[in-house]
Amino acid sequence: MLDVRNVAVRYGQALAVRGVSLRAETGSWIAIVGPNGAGKTSLARAICGLVPHQGTIAIAGEDISKLPAWERQRRGIGYVPEGRQLFGAMSVEENLRVGAFSRAGAEVRRGLDEAFALFPRLAERRMQAAATLSGGEQQMLALARALMDRPNLLLVDEISWGLMPLLVAQVFERLAALNADGLTIVQIEQNAHEVLRRATHAYVMAAGVCVFDGPAKSVARDPRVLESYIG
C-alpha cells in the first residue's frame, strides 16, 4: 500500500528527516512514535506532498514522489493534520465538501451521509462554523473530512492532542472500526501506549531517523525503547 524509501526532509540547513524508510501493507495499522522533534510530522507532511523531500514514496506501487499534494490526495491519501487545520470560517458541511473536492454530486451527498452517520454530533452542527466547535468536535470534523474522499490510506497526526481521555478513547475506537473495515492507517502519536496497543507495526523515530521498528506489541514491551524514546 505505502512504500517510503530513504526519505529526507530539509528546512534550510536543518535536516528534519534523515533517510527514513517504512512500509504499510493494505489493512495494516502502523504507529510512528517518538519524542518531540523526532521528525514524525515532517515525515507525514512529506508523504502528503506538503514539504519538498528526497527519496521515493509509492502508493499502491505508483511512485508519487514528484506529485503535488492534491494529486497525492487523489491517489488515496487522507490526511488528518496535526492541529486539525480546519477551515474555521466555513461550516461543518463546507469543510466536509472540501474534503471531497475531487468528487461530484451524488458521491459528495453519499460522503456527507456517511460522515454524519459516523459522527452524529457533526450532523447537529452541520451549518455551524468549524471554528466554533469544541476541541473534540473539531477533531471529529478533521477525521470526517479526511474520510470524505474514501481514502485507501489514512495518515493521522497527533489526533489525541488536547482531547480529554474519554474523547481519546472514542477517537481510537473510531479508528479501530475503520481499520477493521480494511482502511490502512498510519498514525503519528505522542500517546504511544494507546497506539502501540492497537497498531500492527511500529516505527520509533528520534532525531530524524528511524531507530527501531517491529511489531507494535513487541515495541510496547521493549524496556529499552520505552525508556529511551517513549517514556
Contact residues for another protein (CB under 8 A)? Answer: 48-50, 68-70, 73-74, 79, 81, 85-90, 94, 97-102, 104, 130-131, 145, 149
Identify which of 112, 105, 169 has the alpha carbon closest to the alpha carbon of residue 139: 169
Identify which of residues 32 and 220 has a Cβ nearer to another protein in the complex: 32
Identify which of residues 64 and 210 has a Cβ nearer to another protein in the complex: 64
127 touches 91 (CB < 8 A): yes
Shortest Å distance, C-beta 135 to another protein = 13
Shortest Å distance, C-beta 150 to another protein = 12
Shortest Å distance, C-beta 75 to another protein = 10
Shortest Å distance, C-beta 204 to another protein = 25
Identify which of residues 70 and 180 has a Cβ nearer to another protein in the complex: 70
The DSSP H or E segment spanning 159 is none
Question: Distance between CA 217 and CA 24 in Å, rounded?
Answer: 16
Identify which of residues 48 and 219 has a Cβ nearer to another protein in the complex: 48
**Residue type, position 37, single letter:** G
Identify which of residues 89 and 166 has a Cβ nearer to another protein in the complex: 89
Question: Distance between CA 112 and CA 93 in Å, rounded?
Answer: 8
43 touches 205 (CB < 8 A): yes
Number of Cβ atoms within 10 Å of the Cβ of 24: 22
209 touches 197 (CB < 8 A): no
Identify which of residues 98 and 177 has a Cβ nearer to another protein in the complex: 98
Distances (CA, A) of 117 to 64, 71, 80, 121: 32, 28, 19, 9
DSSP letters for 93-128: HHHHHHHTTT--HHHHHHHHHHHHHH-HHHHHTTTS
Shortest Å distance, C-beta 108 to another protein = 9
Shortest Å distance, C-beta 231 to another protein = 30
80 touches 146 (CB < 8 A): yes
